[in-house]
Amino acid sequence: MDTLIEAWAGRIVDAARSGCPLAIRGGGSKTFYGGPEEGEPFAVGAYSGIVAYEPTELVVTARAGTPLVELAAVLAEKGQWLAFEPPYYAPSATVGGMLACALSGPRRQAVGAVRDFVLGVKVLNGLGDVLSFGGQVMKNVAGYDVSRLMAGSLGTLGIVLEVSLKVLPLPVSEKSVRFALDEATALTKLNQWGGRPLPISASAWHDGVLTLRLTGAAAAVAAAQRALAGEALADADGEVFWHSLREQTHVFFAGDAPLWRLSLPSVAPAQALGSTLIEWGGAQRWLRNGDSRVIRAAAAKAGGHATLFRGDAALKASAGVFQPLSAPLARIHRNLKQAFDPQGVFNPGRMYPGL
């Protein structure tokens, strides 16, 4: 075993024995996300580097501490990328943090989320065992799909050491178009267009303006642009706009007011909960401010859930970061936590209090 991993395994065993948990930190770009950090800070960024990259296999394996910036550069050299457009939020963002938070960018609705691209993981569990699941191939149903389970587990199940990801060729051609539409009409249109074979790779509605991004073969993008007849954006403006959504540098996200993320069925009606920005064809809706109980109830009623994406510690403590789970689901969560981390070493409370 790698000496670094061996040392970490020892640290885990000590933590389990002493009852002093570890707060896992990669690049620190997403520390704001989830419950408060609790326990001794444990930096894992040092385990970094690309282990294997096979452009013709569409697979890259990287250590969890690898900065996303570095990974993206290596992929771009071969004309490939992570198609789900993971947000960085800071240049320090790592592969491990990307997997743990499982946040996806504007392309999510079109191509899938982090979990849809994870092929394999190597993790250290709460017993200090190094475990590998999945692999480097496209299809693998041997054993339970622990690789995907790790996506979004916020480091509560183990320290991710390595991740194998499916990569895709970079888009050939891209155009963005705009329409002046009210919220309800925009939602209807988005869902109607979604049912047609149009190359829509991203959408955003805010303040009476719907923006679409079309991606694909040049001919297909041009044909869709003609069919949809919106106002075309200059390529550079389009790029800046989608980047500002991915990185939440768009003016909508500015300021310290709490940021709520509603994940809803795309057909859920306009929520009338205040100023909103809608992405993913209607399936992701952002809100600033609002009463947490009202927001949570509205999300549940619409068949989805609400996350307090950014907020201060007091609000997080009173409202909870994530939508509460049903009783049987909560029990399964506790059991799974127990299965991977019986002594509660990793990131306690980062997802739910007591988990």
Residue numbers 52-91 binding other proteins by CB under 8 A = 52, 54-59, 61, 79
- 285 beta partners: 262, 278
Choice from 144, 234, 313, 314 touching other proteins (CB under 8 A): 144
Choice from 108, 213, 246, 250 touching other proteins (CB under 8 A): 108
* Six-digit token string for 229: 């007849």
Of 44 and 351, which has the nearer Cβ to other proteins?
351
Which of the residues 12 through 41 are near other proteins (CB under 8 A)? 13
The answer for residues whose C-beta is within 8 angstroms of residue 329's C-beta and 6 or more apart is none
**149 near 165, Cβ under 8 Å?**
no
The secondary element (H helix, E strand) that includes residue 162 is: strand 159-166
Residue 295's Cα: distance from chain center in Å? 21
Choice from 43, 184, 294, 332 touching other proteins (CB under 8 A): 332
* Six-digit token string for 105: 């960018």
The Cβ of residue 281 has, within 10 Å, a number of other Cβ atoms equal to 23
Which of the residues 166 through 195 are near other proteins (CB under 8 A)? 168-169, 191-192, 194-195
Q: Is 97 in the site for other proteins (CB under 8 A)?
A: no
Of 87-95, 239-247, 250-258, 317-325, the window that binds other proteins (rule: CB under 8 A) is 317-325
Choice from 40, 129, 182, 237 touching other proteins (CB under 8 A): 129
Of 253 and 322, which has the nearer Cβ to other proteins?
322
The secondary element (H helix, E strand) that includes residue 121 is: strand 118-124
Residues 261, 313: Cα–Cα separation, whole Å: 17
Q: Is 228 in the site for other proteins (CB under 8 A)?
A: no
- Contact pattern for other proteins over residues 248 through 287, marking x by CB under 8 A: ---------------xxxxx------------x--xx---
**230 near 200, Cβ under 8 Å?**
no
